[in-house]
Chain A
Amino acid sequence: MKNETYVISSNEKLARDIWRMQLVGDTSEFGNPGQFVNIALAGNYLRRPISVCDYDANSFTIIYKVVGEGTEKMSRMERGMRIDALTGLGNGFDTELCPKECTVVGGGVGVPPMYALTRKLVKEGHTVRVILGFNSAEDVFYEDQFRDLGCEVTVTTVDGSYGEKGFVTDAMEEGTYALACGPKPMLQAVFAKSSDGQFSMEERMGCGFGACMGCTCQTNDGPRRVCKDGPVFEKGAVAW
């Protein structure tokens, strides 16, 4: 973990309530895809944990949904402004555990961390099938970016206004190795249909680095902190 200051290089709206922010600064602590940063905002006591969508040697991208006061404040931040963040948090996805063929599933605001993951999987020679689920056409983002990685991409919308109508699991093959991030009901459905896989959990956090025990979840290995022992858990450990 590191505490660094970043300069915003862009902050733009991608879809309904969905924003992308690019930040420049020290990314030396960034490891596996699926990790997150914890952002300090002036006027808010607690930091905001946001998953990393992508990063390189001196910049990174986050995609966030405006859901409350803090993320609304973020959406009003402009290029050139500075942000304080704790970086290199969480375990992230372990691509070494993945078989040659696997399915990446992202739902809504769970889509962003799957981008860096998919890029890594493709680079390591995996055949990746991507399924992105949204509520409606106006919520869809990053379909082209995933396709540009050279993957087969299926988009589903609940109301059928874009892509295939239905849930991500309607487009998912039974018995596949799944890597998933999204709302809990989606994770549970993917869990049920997968042979094995890794699942990124979400929980309201206090510190984001394992000190406060605020975000603990029950697993088959006992209580685990989503922020420090997760957020990614192997299928065998997940207890709903």
Chain B
Amino acid sequence: MVNTKIMLNGIEIDNPVIPASGTFAFGYEFAPMYDLDILGSMSLKGTTAQARFGNPTPRIAETPSGMLNSVGLQNPGVDAVIREELPKLEKVFHKKAVANISGFSVEEYVECAEKFDACDAIGWLEINISCPNVHGGGMSFGTDPCEAAKVTAAVKKAVKKPVWIKLTPNVTDIAQVAKACEEEGADAVSMINTILGMRIDPKTRKPILANTMGGLSGPAVFPVALRMVWQVFEKISIPIVGMGGVASARDVIEMMLAGATAVQVGAANLVDPWACEKIIRDLPRVMEELKIENLSDIIGGAH
């Protein structure tokens, strides 16, 4: 009998598989499809202090082995999420979820984090300093180690729950940003957010996305994400929540061998709503095949 359990900031989870923010709405949408309690946890749709419509459409484009999105943090605002979305989720998911928080100022991150910190349904706070689709916030905090450190320090000071900082790959040295977050007390880093990209429609000779650029996700980014998890694992000692193009149990194991303690599954949920269920069902079989008894033993095992 293999053991898929993982310790994540002092909380034991049944397996390392977590649907990624922005691909799983507020979770309950997936309840008709399978029992959500089989998941390790789930990361909820990115939330800001105020309601946001997001960017103009079209905000989805296809790419080879992946997709671009420029959704731009559409959400009903933190108060509505806590008042309306979390109660719906709690009816169908009985584990701790991950609140994903975005902001346009340090104060906004702190405000949202404080509010989610008071919610029983939430186990971890994932601070998104890496959204490529909003201006004057989001990614601008994630591309500068000093700004990343400021957000981390301010949020850590304000909350009790474990804080993850979600990092952008759109930097020269992601390990430097990860290190800055660790030094300010981050409990984990989650990585990678999407890679900035674009497509042009040759017929109209214009960008397909109304916002011109968007974030690339899907299997196309897996090797990039894996490489970055590897690099960051070499430089920090807090856990890494790895993500980027993960679509199978083997991808989960590869991500963990590179250094991830837990693994998020993103775009795969959008093309196969049962993706996470299939990965979790496959995981014990693949572990047996690869002679892995305890999944937690392989974290960083490739180094």
Contacts and interface: CB of A to CB of B under 8 A. Distances in A.
Contacts of A212: 22-23, 60, 69, 71, 270
A40 interface: yes
A86 interface: yes
Contacts of B270: 46, 206-207, 211-212
A211 B71 CA distance: 12
Interface of B is mostly: loop
A86 B273 contact: yes
Given A3-B274, A223-B53, A223-B74, A213 B62 contact: no
**Candidate in B29, B33, B62, B64 with the most chain A CB atoms within 10 angstroms:** B62
Contacts of B29: 209-211, 228
A91 to B, nearest CB: 15
A154 to B, nearest CB: 31
A211 B58 contact: no
B32 interface: yes
A167 B24 CA distance: 41
A39 to B, nearest CB: 11
Interface string A207-234: 1011111111110000100001000000
Contacts of B64: 45
Interface in A82-111: 86
A209 B199 CA distance: 24
Interface residues of B, number: 35
A210 B25 contact: yes
A13 interface: no
Contacts of B66: 45
Contact of B57 (A1, A203, A211): A203
Contacts of A218: 53
A204 interface: yes
A172 B145 CA distance: 62
Interface in B1-53: 22-25, 29-30, 32-33, 45, 53
B218 interface: yes
Interface string B259-278: 00000000101111110000
Interface in A125-161: none
Interface of B: 22-25, 29-30, 32-33, 45, 53-54, 57-67, 69, 71, 74, 208, 218-219, 267, 269-274
6 contacts: A204-B57, A211-B30, A214-B57, A214-B69, A216-B57, A216-B74
Given A1-B33, A214-B59, A216-B57, 18 more contacts: A1-B32, A45-B64, A45-B66, A46-B67, A47-B271, A207-B23, A209-B29, A209-B273, A211-B23, A211-B25, A211-B30, A211-B269, A212-B270, A214-B69, A214-B71, A216-B53, A218-B53, A228-B29
7 closest A-B pairs by CB:
A214-B60, A207-B270, A204-B58, A206-B60, A213-B74, A46-B62, A211-B25
